[in-house]
Structure 1
Amino acid sequence: MAGHGEEIETTDESLLEKTTDKIHRDSSSSSSSDSESEKKPKFDDDDVKKPHDAPSLSSSLKSKSNRLFGREKPVHQVFGGGIPADVILWRNKKISASVLAGATAIWVLFELLEYHLVTLLCHISILVFAILFLWSSASKIINKSPPPIPEVRIPEDTVLQFASALRIEINNFLQMLRGIASGRDLKKFLAVIAGLWVLSIVGSWCNFLTLFYMSFVVLHTVPVLYEKYEDEVDAFAEKAMIELKKQYAVFDDKVVSKIPRGPLKQKKKD
């Protein structure tokens, strides 16, 4: 019995020693971890830089600088915003489809069916006046209300505003043509000559109505496609502009620089 009691006491002492050793190890490890955490510098949330902040800012600046023609506004604002931009960019598909269908119907009438504008306007007017006249005459016989014919008047302020805006645009266009013809900008001169030459070739292929309809279709298809594939088109346009600048530099070095300058140009340079 005495031996059994001694064995129980030794086992109790060994268990007590193991538990005390474990407690000491846990306390020492927690103190060491606390000391290491105190040694490490602490940063605030504001000091820590998020990895996605800098790339997003740089990518946004890069995307703005590489836009087509150096534009900074979105495509919707480039076209003036509002209803015209919504129609061009197909924001309202019903209105855009109706406008394009109307233009197509006009082109089919005048180009394919060889209908004349004056004839069409006269036939539409005859039909409208006949319907309104018969409706008004029948309403008196059957004692019903006549057709509501609105009184249309063009306000003077609207006409003056439109004329003023048109005058400003025409003057700006004439001033631009004067600047190009005066030899101030060679790039604009070459661009205008190239554009007129291409327009003359296209005009020899088709008449004015077909050319106008083609321009209308391009206006209703190219901007919406560009808005959809904006990044790809801007990247390609950037490469094309770099190549054009290289070719223009070669042309300037070999041709333009060898053109004799007048005395006015030399005085300006001096």
Structure 2
Amino acid sequence: MAEHTDDSVSTVDSIMDKISDKIHHHDSSSSSDSDNEKSSPSTVKSAIYRLFGRQKPVHKVFGGGKPADIFLWRNKKLSAGVLGGATAVWVLFELLEYHLLTLVCHCLVLSLGILFVWSNASVFINKSPPRIPKVAIPQDLVVNIALSLHFEINRALSVLRDIALGRDLRMFLAVIAGLWVLSIVGSCCNSLTLFYIAFVLLHTVPVLYEKYEDQVDSFAEKAIAEFKKQWAVFDARVLSKIPRGPLKAKKKV
């Protein structure tokens, strides 16, 4: 009788083990399915075409600091102030035909006159004279700016050298076309107006692109595909027919 009881207990235990194994197997399969479902949107999102092969958000592309906040209007008051200051400078020098040296001298004269009168009049109005803070440019800031300029200039010279050597014909034609368009624009307006236009574009184009990046990227993908198609036709009909003779080996004397 005891042996029969032990057999029944062992049978019940084996059945419970099988049920628990099935439950764990179902949970693991469901969790793997859910993980696949969670990972599938990311893979689909990574497969979306981004302009210029961009993989980071627009804010990270601009450095992710205060300059990015200004260009993308994350701080609207600061962005409006910077754009308003640039507009005021452009109005002064371009529309009012103010000169830089004259402006600097007038600002210094006005500032020094106000501080001089205030510091001497404080004796009569029983107020302490204004405290003028000591202004000094930190050495690290100047060194970092110089190193950044040194790196960017060297990189630009390296790119221009590669283009001049003819290693990338498409890049060569694109640079020539860009310089030609820039020369036309430069003949229509002076350097200050050109810099102001570029400054305004930096404050408008990135924020508009960030707002409508999906539509812009979709349109850019179609435009680039069409450009590649037309370039292939141009290459087959024109560039491939340009005679390029082999380099003759120098004769040994």
Normalising by structure 2, we get a TM-score of: 0.82
Change (3 A) 1:156 1:58: closer
What is the rounded CA distance, in whole Å, between the counterparts of 1:46 and 1:119 in structure 2?
77
Deviation at 1:264, TM superposition (A): 5.2
Q: Does 2:150 match 1:167?
A: yes
Q: Read off the aligned partner of 1:47 and give its amino acid letter.
A: S
Change (3 A) 1:185 1:150: same
Q: Deviations over 1:30-53 (max 9, x none)?
A: xxxxxxxx9xx9762342335954
Match of 1:220 among 203, 215, 225: 203
What is the rounded CA distance, in whole Å, between the counterparts of 2:40 and 2:158 in structure 1?
44
Q: In the alignment, which residue of structure 2 is the partner of 1:197?
A: 180
Structure 1 residues 98-109: aligned runs within 5 Å: 98-109=81-92
Q: Deviations over 1:104-154 (max 9, x none)?
A: 111111111222221111111111110111111112444532211111122
Q: In the alignment, which residue of structure 2 is the partner of 1:240?
A: 223
Match of 1:45 among 27, 32, 53: 27
Q: Does 2:47 match 1:62?
A: yes
What is the rounded CA distance, in whole Å, between the counterparts of 2:185 and 2:248 in structure 1?
37
Q: In the alignment, which residue of structure 1 is the partner of 2:58?
A: 75
Deviation at 1:213, TM superposition (A): 0.9
Change (3 A) 1:174 1:264: farther
Change (3 A) 1:234 1:265: farther
Aligned-residue CA RMSD (Å): 2.2
Change (3 A) 1:201 1:147: same
Q: Percent identity?
A: 64
What is the rounded CA distance, in whole Å, between the counterparts of 1:70 and 1:170 in structure 2?
24
Q: Read off the aligned partner of 2:45 and give its amino acid letter.
A: S
Normalising by structure 1, we get a TM-score of: 0.77
What is the rounded CA distance, in whole Å, between the counterparts of 2:197 and 2:106 in structure 1?
27
| Bigger Cα Rg | 1
How many positions carry a matched residue from both structures?
225
